[in-house]
Amino acid sequence: MFAKIMVAIDLNHEEQAVRIINHALAVGNNDTVYQLVHVIPPLGAGFVSSFLPKDYDTQLIKKGQEELHAFSKKHFPQGVKVQHMVAHGSIYEEINRLATEQGSELVILSASKPGAKGLGPNAARVSRYSDKSVMVIR
């Protein structure tokens, strides 16, 4: 079995995230550490961002951490080891960076957003560029 499984979810799609967690729990065991990650995509440097506070990114990450902890408390069985990570940047780049830095053995993520068909761009890029095993959930 896997000692460290990175579980990449989108907190905006809770039902889909729960399905991904269930798959991760199925391939893990009592000793597995689940590295739960949510990536906040960058807003960009356009017109809208000029109206946001200077520490907007920091506020987003803090709120993301709070939501991720609440989500895992609700959806992971008690006693399971969960590490929480919130990143800000390109989704596939952050997932691959964190998987390498954290020593993940497997990355599990959704194929695409709910309702979309095929393999989404982030799942395709994680699969293509990761040096880890990747499980894509449809």
Give the pLDDT confidence score for residue 57 in this predicted structure. 83
Give the pLDDT confidence score for residue 1 in this predicted structure. 82
| 107-126-97 Cα angle (round to 5) | 75
Counting the structural domains of the chain, the total is: 1
Give the pLDDT confidence score for residue 44 in this predicted structure. 66
Give the pLDDT confidence score for residue 45 in this predicted structure. 61
Give the pLDDT confidence score for residue 93 in this predicted structure. 98
Question: Edge to edge, what strands does the sheet with 133-137 contain?
Answer: 81-88, 33-40, 4-9, 106-110, 133-137
Give the pLDDT confidence score for residue 38 in this predicted structure. 98
CB-hemisphere CA count at 13 Å for 133? 10
pTM: 0.92
CA 3 to chain centre: 17
Nearest Cα to Cα of residue 122 among 39, 61, 44, 50? 39
Q: Give the domain extent around 117.
A: 4-137
> What does the pLDDT profile of the chain (138 residues) look like in tens digits?
899 999 999 999 999 999 999 999 999 999 999 999 999 998 766 677 677 788 888 899 999 999 999 999 999 999 999 999 999 999 999 999 999 999 999 999 999 988 898 999 999 999 999 999 999 999
We report the CATH number of the domain holding residue 98 as 3.40.50.620
* Beta partners for residue 86, in sequence order: 38
